[in-house]
Chain A
Amino acid sequence: MNTGRCSSTFNSESPSRLLLAAAALLVLLAASGCAPDATRAASVAQDFHLAIAASDWSAACALLQPATREKAAGQDGGSCETGMESLHLPNAGALGVTKAYGREALVEFEGDTVFVAVSGSGWLVTAAGCTPRGESPYSCEVGGK
């Protein structure tokens, strides 16, 4: 028995409906895009700068991505905390624009730019103390290229 549109009976309109449905699915994927949570990205960057301002180096290091933490520690076998203490990161100032794409985000402050990336269920800092260099990668005090 044909039960209507949900029937398993084949008909000539099915392929075009399937194609349109698939195209609609693509549009939905693009629109939702599993958009990253820019607010949480900005919040992590703010927490990082609050820790720096309070000279709480271990809290600041805990907000770094593992690879960035290693870079901050330097190559002379020191700790991340010691490395952070020796740096002179600029005062962040007021929070500006956050640009988030996929699993990466750039958080702009009045006096600094911080890069963050998704790690587990949250965000961690990949670079801080960054200044733009045109089309070249930002120059960063912590992490970066």
Chain B
Amino acid sequence: MKNALKNNGLSLFFGLIFILALVGQAITGLAVFNEEQAAAGLEGINFAQYVTSSSFTVDVSENWQSEYLQFLLYIIATVWLVQKGSPESKELDNPGIESDEEQLIGEHANHKSPAWAKASGWRLTVFSNSLGATMGLIFILSWLVQSVTGQTAFNEEQLRNFQEPVPWPEYLASPDFWNRTLQNWQSEFLAVGSMVVLSIYLRQRGSPESKPVGSAHDDTGATG
């Protein structure tokens, strides 16, 4: 048990702070929602009603979709694009999907390689792209959820203000949908871009996200 905790410390740590942050978002979101209800002369709702509401779900999903888009783009872009001096980049002369030998697949797989890495055909293709595909699937699902719950939350506010609700296709072209989307995208793209560039010149001793402290600034692809 102790070993299991130690060996999975990173995922457990992020899982825990994710849950704490989500609960905090739910508590503060409920307070904001009930303030708006009170301002309109309507009664407040309880915690269970709020966490199953469109207002809460759209706030959660709009952040989820942007995070998964960020990682999807990063996973795919780093296959083909390189950045001199960045530990986030591959070596400058090695862009692309690399050889079977470098990727330990097919006849180059070893006895510890996953079964589908030793396979050929569609199973190898699927497994070779499974990380990006899963991130992409979660991104699409989260964005879809954002659009559906965003329309409901938007229309609920429209009706609270005695205004006409809008159908889903119209909501997809609305400023509300794209403002929610783009305000998340820009922050994700900035954070990734900053990481790529700052890690050229700055170090964090012991972190695999950084180069070793003594590495040269133009040393590309090294991790410490």
Chain A interface residues (CB < 8 Å from chain B): 9-10, 15-16, 18-20, 23-24, 26-27, 29-34, 65-68, 99, 101-106, 115, 117, 119-120, 126-127, 130, 132, 135-138, 140, 144-145
Least distance between B86 CB and chain A CB atoms (Å): 26
Q: Which of B53-61, B196-204, B209-217 sits within the interface?
A: B53-61
Closest to A145 in B: B162
In the bound assembly, the distance between CA atoms of A31 and B141 in angstroms comes to 12
Q: Is the CB of B152 within 8 A of A33?
A: yes
What's the dominant secondary structure at chain A's contact region? Answer: mixed
Chain B residues lying within 8 Å of A32, measured Cβ to Cβ, are: 52
0/1 interface trace, chain B 115-159, chain A, CB 8 Å (1 if under) = 000000000000000000010011001101100110111011011
Closest to A29 in B: B57
B179 at the A/B interface (Cβ < 8 Å)? no
Q: Is the CB of B4 within 8 A of A10?
A: yes
Q: Is the CB of A102 within 8 A of B156?
A: yes
Chain B interface residues (CB < 8 Å from chain A): 4, 7-8, 11, 15, 40-43, 45, 49, 52-55, 57, 60-61, 64, 134, 137-138, 141-142, 144-145, 148-149, 151-153, 155-156, 158-165
Show 15 residue pairs from A and B whose CB-CB distance is below 8 angstroms, ordered by the A residue. A10-B7, A26-B57, A26-B60, A26-B61, A30-B54, A30-B148, A30-B149, A66-B41, A67-B41, A99-B155, A101-B165, A102-B152, A102-B153, A127-B162, A144-B162
